[in-house]
Amino acid sequence: MTAVALIGTSIPSPSESVWYLGPFPLRAYALAILLGIAVAVWLTSKRMVARGGTAENVYDISMWAVPFGIVGGRLYHVISSPRAYFGEGGNPIKALYIWEGGLGIWGAIALGAVGAWIGARRAGVKFGDFADAVAPGLLIAQAIGRLGNWFNQELFGGPTTLPWGLEIDDAHLPAGFESGTLFHPTFLYELLWCLAAAGLILFLDKKFSFKRGQIFWMYVAFYTLGRVWIESVRIDAAETVLGLRLNVWTSIVVFALAVVGYIVAGRRNDSVNEQVELETSASEEAEQD
């Protein structure tokens, strides 16, 4: 009798992750990423308009930020998990197979920010304003994107007897584990954490007045705080430094930087809401003149 039957409850993994529309494959991972991007752009446009900008500004900036983010995410994944591509038995060409999964959030945010900065300059938008507007949307996009890992049956945690243990097909079962073993659904942990953090940021943004840039750094701090413990649960192969996974160290360092960034941004003389009010007032006065 398998562990699944003994426990009686579990989370099943999807039996398929690719569907075909004629000769064209539709991959769940890619669809999850695209849906997350679409939701993030939509929410960011709503928030940008509320800050005195336009939806067109968001679309223009996204045309730069999204491709930069995808390239950055893939680069970080390959660099942080090189064995599958450059190790013994690895295939370097697979580093280009983004549809098979593998986007490192740190690279996506870093290079995506570069693209957003370029796009913001071209659109005549303050980068800090866009960063604050996009923050909760990024969390929601990350949450949706984790569904791709569920479909791919990848990046799960260690074995567990908890009732929400994740079923993994034998074809995706790590070496050394028996058929029917249940694993921590780290995709679900991160999905819920990101949604909760997004909701908290949206609540705090309505309740309080923040300085330009603080909301973005808040997003970074909330996400990395959750990523530290979620990453420590995962059992997929990864580079380690001093006994800890590289992504754990990255989360700790980025969390510290986020705290510093939040404090520094808080020393600005103007809050985002005050700036929007000033710009609106100046616009109204110009119309009256």
The SS3 of residue 20 is: strand
Please state, as a whole number, how many other Cβ atoms lie within 10 Å of the Cβ of residue 39: 15
CA atoms within 13 A on the CB side of 244: 12
What is the rounded CA–CA span in Å between residue 138 and residue 144?
A: 10
pLDDT at site 35: 96
Joined together, the tokens standing for residue 131 give 């960063």
- Token couple for 233: 């649960």
| pLDDT recorded at residue 78 | 81
Q: Are 64 and 41 in contact (CB under 8 A)?
A: no
Cα(254)–Cα(3) distance, integer angstroms: 38
In the predicted model, is pLDDT for residue 285 greater than 70?
no
- Residue ranges of domains in the chain: 12-146+184-288
pTM: 0.84
Query: Please, which pLDDT band fits residue 212 given cuts at 50, 70 and 90?
Result: very high
Percentage of the chain exceeding pLDDT 90 = 63
Query: H or E element: which one contains 49?
Result: helix 28-50
- Summarised one tens digit per residue, pLDDT across range 24-57 is 888 998 899 999 999 999 999 999 999 889 999 9
Q: Find the helix or strand (DSSP H, E) in which 201 lies.
A: helix 186-207
DSSP per-residue codes, 56-98: HHHHHHHHHHHHHHHHHHHHHHHHHSTHHHHSTT--GGGGG-G
